[in-house]
Amino acid sequence: MIGIIGAMKVELEALKARLQDVTVTRISGVDFYSGKLHGTDVVAAVSGVGKVCSAVCAQTIVLKFGVKAIINTGVAGGLSPNLKLGEVAIASQVCQHDMDTSGVGDPKGLISGINKVFIDADPLWVAKAEKAAQKLGIHTETGVIASGDQFVCDTDRKAWIRDFFRAEAVEMEGAAIGQVCFVNEIPFVVIRSISDDASGHAPVSYESFFKEAAQRAVALTEEMLKEA
């Protein structure tokens, strides 16, 4: 079984509609939709926004449903000049840009307990995502996706995250899901369609392109599962 997590309803709406033989299980206020998608057993859930909500959701999927991998799909703010609105960032690694214990001598971004700044996504699932995107004609960039509990719409913050972590995109959940997968030894990949440029105008572009970007990420996720 494959787990699929999106932070908001619109990020999973189309995908849930295509599930067959659906069973809904409600745990800790989250509905988990298990069924078949293109012949693959999946469980899909809308986690809620932010690292805590996504981590709770991912851990529940691991413990309750025994998934073999987790796909995090949704939208992100673009940091790379090579990514336009609607194009897709695929995570080879994830990091938490708001994790900071540098006051006690740690590198910025270091995750206490696992002593890592960057967590590797599963290379086989990254390759599946790249192959699916190529088949759909979607331009992608593979690299670091940075997560934090803030909607980044400040040019200085954007530049710092891009330069310090060499990140392609910024969002609010992927690295928390990656951390849960790392400690549980579960393969994962993060797929994020660019909905805004994470600049001072981010709220405007976000409202305009959010639904379109979310649908693009869902289409890519579905194509991956067809091959799974």
| Marked catalytic residue, from 11, 87, 122, 168 | 11
User: How deeply is 88 buried, as exposed, middle or buried, from its count of CB atoms within 10 A (0-12, 13-18, 19+)?
Assistant: buried
* Contact in structure between 130 and 90 (CB atoms under 8 Å): yes
Strand pairing report for 140-147 and 40-46: unpaired
The two three-digit tokens of residue 50, written as one number? 């932010």
Whether 106 is catalytic is no
Whether 11 is catalytic is yes
Strand pairing report for 20-27 and 30-37: antiparallel
The two three-digit tokens of residue 38, written as one number? 């293109």
| Marked catalytic residue, from 141, 196, 197, 222 | 196
* Contact in structure between 97 and 157 (CB atoms under 8 Å): no
Q: What is the distance in angstroms between the CA of the first residue and the CA of the last residue of the chain?
A: 11
User: 103: which DSSP letter?
Assistant: G
The set of catalytic residues is 11, 196
